[in-house]
Amino acid sequence: MREFNAVVLGAGGVGKSALTVRFVRDVFVENYDPTIEEEYRRNIEVDGQLYSLEVLDTAGAEQFTALNEVYMKSGRGFILVFSLTQEASLREVDNLRQQIYRVKGGNTDVPIVVVGTKMDLVNEREVQRNTIQDLATRWALPFYETSAKRNWHVNEVFEDLVRQMRDR
Ligand code: GTP
Ligand code: MG
C-alpha cells in the first residue's frame, strides 16, 4: 500500500482538529481544546485503490508557529484551513501558502487543498463563496467548503489531496 503524509495548517480555532478527527474517527469534537500536535493515520480508498494516509494536526496558536517551517519541510501534502465565519483566518491561509512555496525552494508544484470550515454556521458566515472562489482560482488551488459537525465534504478534501500526491 502506498503511504502519504499530510499536514493540516491554519489559524487557531478554525476547526483543523474537528476536520481531522471527523475524517479519522468519524465523530465531531464539540469542545475546543487547543492542539499542540497530534498525529493520526487512516486508510483511504481513492479511485478503487487503498492508501495509508498519515495526518499531522498542528497548533494554530501563535506560540507554536515557529514549528510550521519544520512541518512544511517534511510534509508531502497540505490542507490549509480557515473558518468561513472568520475573515481574518483566510489571510493566514495566504501567508501559509506562500511560506510553503518558500520552504519548498520556490517549487509551486506542491499538493495543497484549501478548506473553509463551519459551513453549517450560516448566520455567522463572513467569507462569501465568490470571494474564496476567486482567490482559489488565482492561487490555482482546489477549494472545499466543509462542516465537520454535519460531515459535509470532509472526505472529499482528503481524497483530493491523495489524488494530487498520487499524481505527482
Ligand atoms: P487549534 O488547535 O487551537 O489550532 O484549533 P483548531 O483549528 O484545531 O480548532 P478546533 O477543531 O478545535 O475547533 C474549534 C471550535 O470550533 C470547536 O469548539 C469545534 O467544535 C468548533 N468547530 C469546528 N468545526 C466546526 C464545524 O464544522 N461546525 C461547527 N458548528 N463548529 C465547528
Ligand atoms: Mg486543533
pLDDT digit string (tens) for the chain, length 168 residues: 999 999 999 999 999 999 999 999 999 999 999 999 999 999 999 999 999 999 999 999 988 889 999 999 999 999 999 999 999 999 999 999 999 999 999 999 999 999 999 999 999 999 999 999 999 999 999 999 999 999 999 999 999 999 999 998
Smallest CA-to-CA distance from 10 within 74, 53, 71 is with 71
Tell me the CA–centroid distance for residue 48 and ligand 2, in Å: 31
d(CA 112, CA 114): 7
Bridge partner residues of 128 (DSSP):
none
Ligand 1 atom having least distance to the Cα of 21: 11
Entry pTM: 0.98
CA-nearest residue, atom 17 of ligand 1: 32
